[in-house]
Amino acid sequence: MQKDLVAVTVKGVLPTTNGCAVFLGSEEKTFVIYVDPSVGNAIQMTLGGVRRERPLTHDLIGSILLGLGARVEHVIVNDAREGTFFARIFLRMENEIGRKIIEIDARPSDSIVLALQQKRPILVARPVYDGVEDMTDTLERLLRQQAEEGHETDEPPGGDSP
């Protein structure tokens, strides 16, 4: 991998008042991208291996790519300006005519779903990665809170009495 790119994984997807927070990171640090609820749900379903009876938009796109003999090579979160992230999807097409790499401008959220569906790398441009705030501690705290709240709702009502 080029040294100006950092490989990241999805570390968590948590609901917010206006959508979802997608935490991306490496061993070094974690950062957050805010996405709308439908794409946040698609990311969570893909991570969980959940299949719908009918294909959702990202499933449809994956099927179209497959039908055209193309696949996601990788995605790159390549820019961040005023709190908005930008991404590129790199597609590889191979057929009897030859081999071609196609680069497409896309929202990071859509790019992440497609990369997860096809088990392809999610990369971040080094200047973007270096410029984002490290949210590792925040994610760990939120996940701990979520786990504690889950334990509270798992307890039977009425306390310790038999």
How does pLDDT run across 17-69, given as a tens digit for each residue? 989 999 999 999 999 999 999 899 999 988 988 888 777 888 888 888 888 88
58 domain residue, yes or no? yes
The β-bridge relationship of strands 122-125 and 70-81 is: parallel
Domain range enclosing 108: 5-144
* Total domain count, the chain: 1
50 domain residue, yes or no? yes
149 domain residue, yes or no? no
92 domain residue, yes or no? yes
Q: What is the pTM of this model?
A: 0.84
H or E element, residue 43: helix 37-48
Q: What are the C-alpha distances in Å from 7 to residues 64, 66, 81, 158?
A: 26, 24, 20, 48
85 domain residue, yes or no? yes
For position 12, which CATH number holds?
3.10.690.10
The whole-angstrom distance between residue 135's C-alpha and the CA centroid of its chain comes to 16
Other beta carbons less than 10 A from residue 123's beta carbon: 24
155 domain residue, yes or no? no
| Residue pLDDT, tens place only, 79-135 | 999 989 999 999 999 877 778 999 999 999 999 999 999 999 999 999 999 999 999
